[in-house]
Amino acid sequence: MERYTYEEIIESVEEDFQSSFKLGDDHVAATMRLLGDFYKDIIQSNSIENLMFHVAICLYLKAQNFSIEHMKMSLVKVIEDVPLASIKDDLEVEEFNRLQNDLNQVQAFVSI
């Protein structure tokens, strides 16, 4: 099964957040819209993409100076369900390293 690359996910999250904000959503509503409407089928079917989407969303929100506390419980669950070490062989080295670095940043933001 083909999956999105981490770079594609980051670009998609940025575009979709911008669209959601144009609709008048605040950052919490935009996050819920992304997790619920836009990516529901993808993140339910692919655990790697689920982790990538959560990390990308948290980084985007943090870069926009929004709180990511509302993502903490969801992020903890995803990290427990998809330990990074378990997917290392499924990713290209550069993609894995970037995801690992980004995940470390997100974990520091929310004190996981």
Around Cβ 62, how many Cβ atoms within 10 Å? Answer: 16
Please give the chain's pLDDT, 112 residues, in tens.
Answer: 578 899 999 998 888 888 877 777 787 777 777 777 666 776 677 889 889 989 999 999 888 888 888 888 888 888 899 889 999 999 999 999 999 999 999 999 887 6
Instruction: Compute CA distances 26 → 33, 54, 60, 62, whole Å.
Output: 10, 18, 14, 14
Return the pLDDT at 103. Answer: 95
Type of residue found at 94:
E
- State pLDDT tens for residues 48-65: 988 998 999 999 988 888
Return the pLDDT at 112. Answer: 67
Q: What is the pTM of this model?
A: 0.84
